Amino acid sequence: MKLPIDQMCATTGTLCAKCQRAVREGKVSKLEIDLSKLIVKTVGKNRKYKDITLKRAVRLRAAVLLIVGKNQKDLWKDPNVGLVNAISDKFGTDVVILEETKNPRHLVEMLITPATPKEITKVFIPPFGEEEYVIKIPKEQEQLLRFTSEELAEILKSVTGASAYISFE
């Protein structure tokens, strides 16, 4: 298992020096610690889940967003283990699973499905060349979105490190 904290720390509930440093530096959140503990408890020693990966987790008003390893979405949704149900029950909210991607365009498309973006443009903002994504979505598809434009911008910032501006046209 590849979790935000070591598997031993997730099992025992006590963080080692390395994991404590990651928490202090803001690389690992309280949510990710709680999820790591829940995952270890839920999947146990099931060999099928030995390669399961949780990259990031973000708590939103309407959902808990999990960024998982590539091609692992089906593994997380396996009804025999009920991992998504356990997470949903613990946090009392929906769980959204996104596969890890380096392509911000693909991430945006996964987040706004079933809506389709009109345009996704990368803009460099002077004087330091910071990146910002400008995402244009058809006005008539606004009601199809699961997240508000502020939540979408927050998700993109936490996953890609770049800010985003979402407009409806």
pLDDT of residue 137: 92
Give residue-wise pLDDT tens across range 2-48: 999 998 999 998 999 999 999 999 899 999 999 999 999 888 777 78
Q: Between these two residues, 50 and 33, which has the higher pLDDT value? A: 33
Classified by CATH at the fold level, domain 7-99 comes out as GMP Synthetase; Chain A, domain 3 (3.30.300)
Average pLDDT over residues 57-77: 84
Cβ neighbours of 68 (radius 10 Å): 20
Q: How far is CA 91 from the centre of its chain?
A: 15
Nearest to 160 by CA among 40, 58, 39, 82: 58
Cβ neighbours of 41 (radius 10 Å): 11
Classified by CATH at the fold level, domain 104-168 comes out as GMP Synthetase; Chain A, domain 3 (3.30.300)
Least confident of 42-51, 84-93, 115-124, 138-147: 42-51
The pTM assigned to this predicted structure is 0.79
Supply the mean pLDDT for the chain: 86
Tokens 């149900």 sit on residue: 85
Cβ neighbours of 86 (radius 10 Å): 17
For the chain, the structural domain boundaries read: 7-99, 104-168
- Check if the beta carbon of residue 163 is closer than 8 Å to that of residue 149: no
- Check if the beta carbon of residue 43 is closer than 8 Å to that of residue 3: no
Helix (H, G, I), strand (E, B) or coil at 124: strand
Give residue-wise pLDDT tens across range 79-99: 777 788 888 888 888 888 888
pLDDT of residue 29: 92
pLDDT of residue 4: 92
